[in-house]
Amino acid sequence: EGEFLIEETFGMQKGVGGGNFLILAEDAEAALAAAEAAVDAMTNQPGVILPFPGGVVRSGSKVGSRRYKGMVATTNDPFAPTLRAMTKSQVPEGVNSVLEIVLDGTDAPSIEAAMRLGIPAACRPGGRTITAGNYGGKLGPHHFHLRRIMSDVA
pTM for the predicted model, two decimal places? 0.86
Decide: 115 and 103 in contact? Cβ < 8 Å.
yes
49 in helix, strand or coil? strand
Contact 126, 25 (CB under 8 A): yes
pLDDT at 54: 93
Q: 139 phi and psi, to 5 degrees?
A: -90, -5
Kindly compute the dihedral angle of the four CA atoms of residues 27, 62, 77, 105, in this order, to the nearest 10 degrees.
-10
State pLDDT tens for residues 109-128. Answer: 999 999 999 999 999 999 99
CATH architecture of the region 16-125: 2-Layer Sandwich (3.30)
d(CA 53, CA 49): 11
Helices assigned H by DSSP within the chain: 28-42, 108-122, 146-150
Give the domain ranges of the chain. Answer: 16-125
Mean of pLDDT over the chain: 90
Per-residue buried b or exposed e for 2-35, using 16+ beta carbons within 10 Å of the residue's own CB: eeeeeeeeeeeeeebebbbbbbbbeeeebbbbbb
Separation of alpha carbons 85 and 89, rounded Å: 8
Residue 154 has what pLDDT? Answer: 67
> pLDDT 10s digit of each residue in the chain, 154 long?
789 888 899 888 999 988 999 999 999 999 999 999 999 999 999 999 999 989 998 876 777 777 888 887 778 888 889 888 888 999 999 999 999 999 999 999 999 999 999 999 999 999 999 999 877 667 778 889 999 999 988 6
